[in-house]
């Protein structure tokens, strides 16, 4: 079960009379998109009768179906690296039909604010960035003074100057049991307890290199092991399956919904610092997160983790937050042994107290 916060919005800010729809323009990385559900939950406390929609890419669109409080996802894939004005105007026409009263524009880019402007959304909230004068009309300042990404996101859902809470409502992904059962049947999966491994990440520096050995050890203990991820993880999955044997299944693919359902069906998820770590934690599946070059303080999910796994002795350059290791031979990851991770997993599954290595201090 997820440990939720006891956050309650000041009643002076609650306005049940307002019914104008709200558009959230989130960051489109999977983990950041999941974190965006915290903003939805704060918005629904502030304006319980305002429908909340999320702009989404095709990749992230399945997540919206499992987010309580989101009316719909507006699916639109804009090209990276250029404004694509024709496509921005086409998106704006779709947005205009929804009669949004407010758009929360989380990215600080010009491009993120264009369609809300073209759609004539009257209130466009965002932080100062890329000289967006005329595009954003409810300016927010002080983004850099907020150390956590989630504080920056939620600040846009609150009046300027509102004090930031230490805890926010956690993201939630609610996956129906019937959908999980149908997914198991469609993939020919029985009811043997399964552990999901998510070996991918953005940047090789965040990838723990011993998943294949861990899969072999877990399979030897009688678990099914499912490898989840996108098409970029196919080669990793092949190596893990080859090492683990017939009890290990490659469930990677192009549809994120498949990964969501696998993580919801698993008894435990073991993941790098990645989008799927956030997905598993928001579902409520016990999640072990392996951190090397990044800081759990900044990048761990708001949801409670079953264990944070790091090296037992801090590597001098840790955390560096670099996508690729350039020093110390990737020791922040290679010094985490497979048998250590498997023992922590056994403790989590047995609900024994887990002794995790210390969390490296944030820089």
What span, in angstroms and rounded, lies between the C-alpha atoms of 281 and 248? Answer: 22
How big is the chain by its Cα radius of gyration, in Å?
Answer: 21
- Average pLDDT of the chain, as a whole number: 91
- Of 333, 268, 337, 335, give the one whose Cα is nearest residue 307: 268
CA distances from 216 to 50, 223, 225, 226 (A): 50, 10, 9, 12
Name beta bridge partners: 197: 227, 270
- Of 170, 355, 179, 180, give the one whose Cα is nearest residue 267: 180
Same fold, 11-155 and 177-349: yes
| pLDDT (0 to 100) of residue 363 | 37
Domain boundaries, the chain: 11-155, 177-349
Structure-token pair, residue 344: 């922590």
What span, in angstroms and rounded, lies between the C-alpha atoms of 281 and 3? Answer: 10
- Of 25-34, 123-132, 293-302, 316-325, least confident by mean pLDDT is 316-325
| CATH architecture of the domain covering 11-155 | 3-Layer(aba) Sandwich (3.40)
Structure-token pair, residue 148: 């956590």
Each residue's pLDDT tens digit, 69-98: 999 999 999 988 788 899 999 999 999 999
Q: Cα angle at 106 between 30 and 305, to 5 degrees?
A: 40
In order, the DSSP letters of 146-194 are: --SHHHHHHHTTS-TTPPPPS--PPP-----HHHHHHHHHHTT--SS-E
| pLDDT (0 to 100) of residue 127 | 93
- Of 68, 69, 114, give the one whose Cα is nearest residue 95: 114
Each residue's pLDDT tens digit, 10-37: 899 999 999 999 999 999 999 999 999 9
Handedness of CA 203, 285, 106, 74 (dihedral sign): positive
Handedness of CA 63, 44, 144, 327 (dihedral sign): negative
Question: Taking 90 as the threshold, does the pLDDT of residue 118 lie above it?
Answer: yes
What span, in angstroms and rounded, lies between the C-alpha atoms of 12 and 14? Answer: 6
Check: CATH 3.90.650.10 for 177-349? no
Contact 38, 5 (CB under 8 A): no
Going by pLDDT thresholds of 50, 70 and 90, the confidence category of residue 357 is very low
Q: Cα angle at 207 between 242 and 251, to 5 degrees?
A: 45
Name beta bridge partners: 123: 102
- Of 40-54, 291-305, 319-333, 348-362, least confident by mean pLDDT is 348-362
Q: Is 129 exposed, middle or buried (0-12, 13-18, 19+ CB in 10 A)?
A: middle
């Amino acid at each position: 079960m997820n440990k939720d916060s006891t956050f309650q919005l000041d009643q002076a800010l609650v306005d049940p009379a307002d019914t104008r729809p709200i558009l959230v323009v989130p960051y489109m990385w999977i983990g950041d998109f999941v974190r965006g559900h915290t903003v939805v939950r704060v918005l629904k406390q502030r304006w319980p009768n305002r429908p909340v929609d999320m702009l989404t890419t095709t990749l992230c669109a399945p997540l919206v179906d499992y987010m309580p409080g989101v009316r719909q996802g507006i699916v639109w894939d804009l090209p990276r690296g250029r404004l694509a004005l024709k496509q921005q105007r086409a998106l704006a026409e779709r947005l205009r039909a929804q009669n949004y009263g407010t758009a929360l524009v989380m990215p600080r880019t010009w491009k993120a604010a264009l369609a809300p402007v073209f759609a004539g959304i009257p209130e466009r909230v965002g932080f100062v960035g890329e000289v967006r004068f005329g595009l954003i009309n409810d300016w927010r300042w002080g983004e850099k003074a907020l150390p956590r990404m989630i504080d920056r996101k939620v600040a846009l859902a609150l009046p300027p100057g509102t004090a930031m809470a230490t805890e926010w409502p956690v993201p939630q992904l609610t996956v129906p049991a019937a959908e999980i059962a149908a997914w198991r049947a469609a993939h020919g999966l029985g009811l043997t307890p399964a552990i999901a491994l998510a070996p991918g990440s953005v940047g090789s520096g965040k990838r723990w290199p011993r998943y294949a050995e861990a899969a072999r050890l877990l399979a030897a203990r009688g678990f099914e092991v499912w490898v989840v991820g996108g098409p970029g993880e196919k080669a990793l999955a092949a190596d893990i399956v080859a090492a683990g044997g017939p009890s290990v299944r490659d469930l990677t693919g192009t549809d994120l919904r498949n990964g969501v359902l696998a993580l919801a069906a698993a008894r435990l998820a073991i993941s790098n610092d990645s989008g799927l770590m956030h997905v598993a934690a928001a579902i409520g599946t016990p999640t072990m997160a392996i951190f090397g070059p990044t800081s759990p303080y900044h990048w761990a999910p708001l949801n409670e983790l079953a264990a944070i796994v790091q090296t037992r002795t801090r590597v001098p350059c840790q955390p560096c937050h670099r996508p690729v290791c350039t020093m110390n031979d990737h020791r922040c990851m290679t010094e985490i042994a497979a048998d250590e991770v498997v023992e922590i997993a056994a403790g989590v599954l047995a609900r024994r107290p887990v002794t995790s290595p210390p969390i490296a201090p944030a820089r």
